[in-house]
Structures are given as structure tokens and as C-alpha cells.
């Protein structure tokens, strides 16, 4: 047993030191990713304080957002609509799916809506119409867009890809999905667009990190989105901080929630409250 450890311990120690060295110096083995944009301020659907995509995106743009996160669905007549939900009961009071209606048949938003992820808070707005993805592309040509696809619908994915190409936004539009199968379909349809980690790929990323293999493995993704409510603050700040730094050094942008995110080393923050984030960034910049 002693002789076994005599050989094992130096090997493990050498591997650990090598892994740590390349974790801190990833540029030696891997080429740094170069994306067309760098985002610190990211607005989820433009900010859910206003459910209406057009008004919320306008508000986010006014306070300096650098990326809009949008959920997209396909109408019966083939239009790509920006909406958090496929079923419209919560947003309009009508229990129908977007895919079962033509664009002209979509009901308006309710006058008052409870804010998603913020129970007990409500939003109102004068613009109660659903927006098209191409409306967002047309009105905000210089703001990057993170397009989340929630269903494995090839027609939806192809239509999104067509719009991205039509508006020359392949470098500034990002594929996003929690599902690996959907992401594979997105990548197959348009491989020119940068893309995010799925849940499965995110778990694999953690496995690679904790086993020390991460510095040696190429990654196709350009963005990692972390929902900090699922991670204890100490875990983010202590154990994952080195991983975030390693990903930043490799050119992969990491998006989280505000305070914990910047403390953990995230490159950007995705929020439902763009004005709050802008004020935080402004104060933080002044303090430093």
C-alpha cells in the first residue's frame, strides 16, 4: 500500500498543479474567443416590470442595456412573436396557445399583470400588443439579442435563423435554451450564431472544473448564464470564482444576478429591472 501511494501521490500532485497552472493561464493551450460584443447590462425581455416587449425594450435601451433576452414563439401563420409564455392565460386571460392563433388573432395583454419572478408586484403599460422579433431587430439594430427557444420546433428555429440573416445579426444574436436537444437543432440550423450553455452542458462544465479537466477541454459556447438563486452565495463566491475567471480569460461571458454576480466575477448581469442595474453599475463605477 505504501509503495502504491509513493507513486500515486506525486502523480496526483503533479496533475493538480498542472491543472491549476493552465486554469490560471488558459491562453497557453486554448485560443481566446472573440465575440462581436461584450455585455455588462442585460435585460430579461427588456425588463418584466413592463410585460409589453416594445415598451420594456424601449425602457431598457434608454437606461443603457447592451443585450435584450427574449423568448420566442411561432404563430399559426408563421410569425415569430416575442412572449415569455406559449400559453396566453397569464398574460391575456385567454387560455389559448400562440401556435394556435394567427398574428392578427392574438389578444392584447391584460391591463395589469403580476410581474414574473416577483410575486405581489404588478405592472401596467399603455402598449398592450405583442411584438414580433423582427420589430425588435428593426427598432434596436445596435443592441445584441439573446434568443431563448423553449420548444423543439424546427419551423420556429428556421424562421428565427432567417430573420437573423435578413437583418444581418448573426454576430449579435445568441442562441439560448435550457434543453440540449433544442440547442443542437438551433446549432444545426445556424452555426454562425454564438450560443449559450444548456443545463446539461452546464453540469458537464462543473464536472470538468471539479475534476481539473476544464483547462484542457475546448468549449464551443460563448456565454454562460447562471441563476444565482440556485446556488448558495458562498459556493458562488468561493468555489466558482476561479471557474468564472477562467471562462472570462477564455473569452466566455458569464451572466448572473447583480451583487452576487459581480462579487463572483461575472462579466454581465441579466435582470428584470434594467434601471436598478444601471443605477448599481453607475454607483459601482463611481466608487471605484
Instruction: Give CA–CA dist 182/151, Å, rounded.
Output: 7
Instruction: Give CA–CA dist 135/253, Å, rounded.
Output: 26
* Same domain, yes or no: 168 and 248: no
Give the largest CA-CA distance in the chain.
77
Asked if residue 134 belongs to a domain, the reply is yes
Domain count, the chain: 2
* Same domain, yes or no: 64 and 202: no
* Same domain, yes or no: 200 and 179: no
* Same domain, yes or no: 166 and 138: yes
* Same domain, yes or no: 212 and 188: no
One digit per residue, the tens of pLDDT, for the chain of length 288 reads 567 777 778 888 899 999 999 999 999 999 999 888 888 777 776 444 444 556 666 666 666 788 888 999 999 999 999 998 899 988 888 999 999 999 999 998 877 665 555 554 555 555 678 889 999 999 999 999 999 999 999 999 999 999 999 999 999 999 999 999 999 999 999 999 999 999 999 999 999 999 999 999 999 999 988 765 555 554 555 667 788 889 889 988 876 655 566 665 666 666 666 656 666 666 665 555
Task: Give, as one character, the DSSP assignment of residue 217.
Answer: S
Collapsed DSSP state (helix, strand, coil) of residue 132: strand
Examine the fold and report which residue of 160, 178, 193 is the final residue of a domain before the chain moves on.
193
Query: CA geometry: angle at 113 spanning 63 and 68, to 5°?
Result: 35
Asked if residue 282 belongs to a domain, the reply is yes
Q: Are 132 and 82 in contact (CB under 8 A)?
A: yes
* Same domain, yes or no: 222 and 159: no
53-94: per-residue pLDDT in tens? 566 666 666 667 888 889 999 999 999 999 988 999 888 889
* Same domain, yes or no: 219 and 257: yes
Asked if residue 91 belongs to a domain, the reply is no
* Same domain, yes or no: 51 and 147: yes
Instruction: Give CA–CA dist 46/273, Å, rounded.
Output: 8
Examine the fold and report which residue of 145, 168, 193 is the final residue of a domain before the chain moves on.
193
* Same domain, yes or no: 152 and 238: no
* Same domain, yes or no: 189 and 260: no
Domain housing 152 = 45-69+111-193
* Amino acid 1: pLDDT: 56
Its pTM stands at: 0.82
Collapsed DSSP state (helix, strand, coil) of residue 274: helix
Instruction: Give CA–CA dist 185/191, Å, rounded.
Output: 10
* Same domain, yes or no: 143 and 49: yes
Through-space distance between the first and last CA atoms of the chain, rounded to whole angstroms: 55
Task: Give, as one character, the DSSP assignment of residue 115.
Answer: P
Supply φ then ψ for residue 51, to 5 degrees.
-65, -30
Amino acid at each position: 500500500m505504501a509503495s502504491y501511494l509513493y507513486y500515486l501521490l506525486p502523480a496526483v500532485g503533479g496533475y493538480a498543479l498542472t491543472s491549476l497552472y493552465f486554469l490560471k493561464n488558459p491562453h497557453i493551450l486554448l485560443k481566446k474567443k472573440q465575440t462581436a460584443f461584450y455585455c455588462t447590462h442585460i435585460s430579461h425581455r427588456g425588463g418584466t416590470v413592463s410585460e409589453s416587449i416594445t415598451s420594456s425594450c424601449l425602457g431598457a435601451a434608454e437606461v443603457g442595456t447592451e443585450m435584450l433576452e427574449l423568448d420566442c414563439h411561432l404563430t399559426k401563420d408563421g410569425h415569430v412573436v416575442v412572449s415569455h409564455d406559449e400559453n396566453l392565460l397569464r398574460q391575456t386571460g385567454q387560455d389559448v396557445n400562440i401556435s394556435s392563433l394567427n398574428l392578427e388573432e392574438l389578444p392584447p395583454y391584460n391591463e395589469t399583470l403580476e410581474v414574473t419572478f416577483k410575486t405581489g408586484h404588478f405592472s401596467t403599460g399603455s402598449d398592450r400588443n405583442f411584438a414580433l422579433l423582427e420589430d425588435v431587430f428593426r427598432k434596436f439594430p445596435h443592441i445584441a439579442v439573446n434568443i431563448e427557444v423553449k420548444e423543439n420546433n424546427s419551423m420556429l428555429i428556421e424562421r428565427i435563423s432567417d430573420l437573423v440573416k435578413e437583418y444581418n445579426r448573426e454576430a449579435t444574436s445568441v442562441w439560448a435554451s435550457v434543453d440540449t436537444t433544442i440547442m443542437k437543432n438551433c446549432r444545426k440550423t445556424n452555426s454562425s450564431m454564438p450560443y449559450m450553455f444548456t443545463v446539461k452542458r452546464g453540469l458537464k462544465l462543473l464536472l470538468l472544473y471539479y475534476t481539473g479537466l476544464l483547462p484542457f477541454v475546448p468549449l464551443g459556447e460563448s456565454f454562460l448564464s447562471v441563476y444565482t438563486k440556485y446556488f448558495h452565495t458562498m459556493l458562488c463566491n468561493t468555489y466558482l470564482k476561479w471557474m468564472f475567471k477562467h471562462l472570462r480569460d477564455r473569452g466566455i461571458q458569464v451572466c448572473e444576478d447583480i451583487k452576487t454576480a459581480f462579487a463572483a466575477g461575472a462579466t454581465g448581469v441579466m435582470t428584470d429591472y434594467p434601471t436598478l442595474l444601471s443605477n448599481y453599475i453607475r454607483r459601482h463605477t463611481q466608487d471605484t
